[in-house]
Structure 1
Amino acid sequence: MSAPPRVLTVAGSDSGGGAGIQADLKTMLALGVHGMSVITAVTAQNSLGVQGAWELPAQAVRAQFRSVVDDIGVQAVKTGMLASAELVETVAELLAGTDAPVVVDPVGVSKHGDPLLAPAALDSVRTKLLPVATVATPNLDEVAQLTGVRVDSERRMRTAAEAVLAYGPRWVVIKGGHLAGEAVDLLTDGAEEHWLRAARHDNRHTHGTGCTLASAIAARLAKGRSVPEAVTDAKEYVTGAIAGGFALGAGLGPVDHRWNLTTRTAAPPRA
């Protein structure tokens, strides 16, 4: 049998299994690609928040990347938590030498508000990482962190997209999940524009949505989809995963990465 498309995630480990490397690999499995990983940091994390985080040395990150890419190869790469300027610059350099499409999730804070990116690393994200991105997927807090643009309406999402695109990614998805009303995202390359809308599910268990969306985009790109097709498919997948989010521990539970593998078409919210 031939191997499925191969996708590499470069991100931090979430010990609670809801986000980070764990969410990425679950998403990739659910979408029919072979997931591989470069771990950039280890977190002590559960449904209540992040209790501790330890970044790996740049040498270890570089060695993991070269080990996978030089032997197995990749059809797409997704980046997540890159805690320091040194790690951002190391990963950006590695990606610049890779032909595969790159999805950059510029993770700044966790779902619980815990910082996951050193303030000193922001300039490296702007000048080193975003220029190598095929698609960047910031949420509204990350847009404000990177560009200073604060989005309080759909109209302002265009302004945010322009500000992010100025740093060099080919496409950007401005995730509007923090706005009131339906869940709307804007995908654009500065010329072509796609508004992606979905009903908002009344479910507080949404840990891992950003990681899941970025990984789903990478999985679809690895299968040869265009960027608009990949992002549209990923939006549908993450919407179903949010609908099925479940309670785990005493705080925010994760989305349901396996929802599309069961016989149900969508999962009702669970308490």
Structure 2
Amino acid sequence: MAIALTIAGSDSGGGAGIQADLKTFSALGVYGASVLTAITAQNTRAVTRVEGVSAAMIRAQVDAVFDDLGIGAVKIGMLGTAEATRAVAEALEGRAVPLVLDPVMIAKSGDRLIQDDAIDAMRELLIPRATVLTPNLPEAARLLSRMVAADPTEAEVQGRALCKLGTGWVLMKGGHAEGPVCTDLLIGPATRSFSAPRIETGNTHGTGCSLSSAIAAGLAQGLPVPEAVARAHGWLQGAIAAADRLRVGSGHGPVHHFHQWWRE
């Protein structure tokens, strides 16, 4: 059994964070373990409160999981603070497993989920260890202290600049771009693009968490990075296309993680 570990914050509404990660692992046939970095009070409309987990508890969770389970890949999502970022980096020191880093900064509702010094710590401590970094366009710009990429050419330039920070691959997610087609650009030892028609739906809560987790699931199952990204991209498109069938909440609803399995 392939096992993947998610290190991220909890979403009480169930659409993003740890909850979305574990749903994604399950949907793709991977056993999921988890390490909580923060607890959020949120639903499909807003994040109303965030409380961080102590650095000691974060390290203890990581140690407990690795001491017993054969982890095949790790996904890192919301960290929130520099203290949590350092705790995760320290806890993963010497653990040679593929690492997917999703630099979560802003919730779908627009609420901020990370402190400025945590971004600096992520850049220094985690990006150089990442197998795959999965920023959206605003996150990539923030990591590089640049303006948001206005076109695919600039997105590729920024992706290559992020590669120079030490990560093996960068997946520049195009969901924030304009136009009828959404394109994600994978940059690394090779370059590939993944395009799909932009789906008109308001139910896209958790897309970034779910995509990075789907990539981690593929890596845990032994897929090379380009194949893991390709499968994750196709699966997420199906989850977005089926999202309106869920009818969860009155704001930005979740994608349908189990669109391949549930029969309405």
Please confirm whether the aligned pair reaches a TM-score higher than 0.5, indicating the same fold. Answer: yes
TM category (shorter chain) comes to over 0.9
Q: Residue 90 of structure 1 corresponds to which residue in structure 2?
A: 87
Shift of 1:94: 2.2
Please, which runs of 5 or more residues in structure 1 have no aligned partner? 265-271
| TM-score, with structure 1 as normaliser | 0.93
CA distance in structure 2 between the partners assigned to 1:248 and 1:29 by the alignment: 20
Which residue in 2 is equivalent to 1:241? 239
Question: Corresponding residue for 1:216?
Answer: 214
SS in 2 for 1:109: coil
The sequence identity of aligned pairs, in percent, is 47
Q: State the alpha-carbon separation in 2 of the partners of residues 96 and 177 from structure 1.
A: 33
Aligned match of 1:257: 257
- Equivalent residue number for residue 183 of structure 1: 182
Structure 1 counterpart of 2:9, from 4, 12, 17: 12
Q: Comparing 110-119 with 5-14, which one deviates more in the overlay?
A: 110-119
Q: What SS does structure 1 have at the residue aligned with 2:21?
A: helix
Residue from 113, 118, 122 that aligns with 1:116: 113
Matched, 1:100 2:97: yes
Task: Show structure 1 runs of 4+ deviating over 6 A.
Answer: none
Q: Does 1:74 align with 2:71?
A: yes
Partner Cα separation in structure 2 for residue 171 and residue 96 of structure 1? 20
Q: Which residue of 2 aligns with 1:267?
A: none
Aligned to 1:28: 25
Is the CA contact (8 Å cut-off) linking 1:102 and 1:133 kept in structure 2?
yes
Query: Match for 1:163: what amino acid?
Result: A
Count of aligned pairs between the two proteins: 260
User: What are the superposed Cα offsets for residues 227-257 of structure 1, whole Å, 9 maximum, x if unpaired?
Assistant: 0000000000111111111332221100000
Structure 2 alignment gaps of length 5 or more: none
SS at match of 1:39: strand
- Please report the RMSD computed on the Cα atoms of aligned residues, expressed in angstroms: 1.2
Q: Aligned partners of 2:76 and 2:122: how far apart in 1? A: 11
Are the counterparts in 2 of residues 8 and 35 from structure 1 also a CA contact under 8 Å?
yes
1:40 maps to 2:33: no
Q: TM-score, normalised by structure 2?
A: 0.96
Question: How many angstroms does 1:99 deviate by?
Answer: 1.1
Is the partner of 2:39 in helix, strand or coil?
strand
Using the TM superposition, give the Cα deviation of residue 95 of structure 1 relative to its aligned residue in structure 2, in angstroms. 2.3
SS of the equivalent of 2:243 reads coil
CA contact (8 A) 1:33 1:219 kept: yes
TM-aligned CA deviation for residue 73 of structure 1: 2.4
Deviations 1:132-185 (A, max 9, x none): 100000001111111123211111111110221121110000001111121100
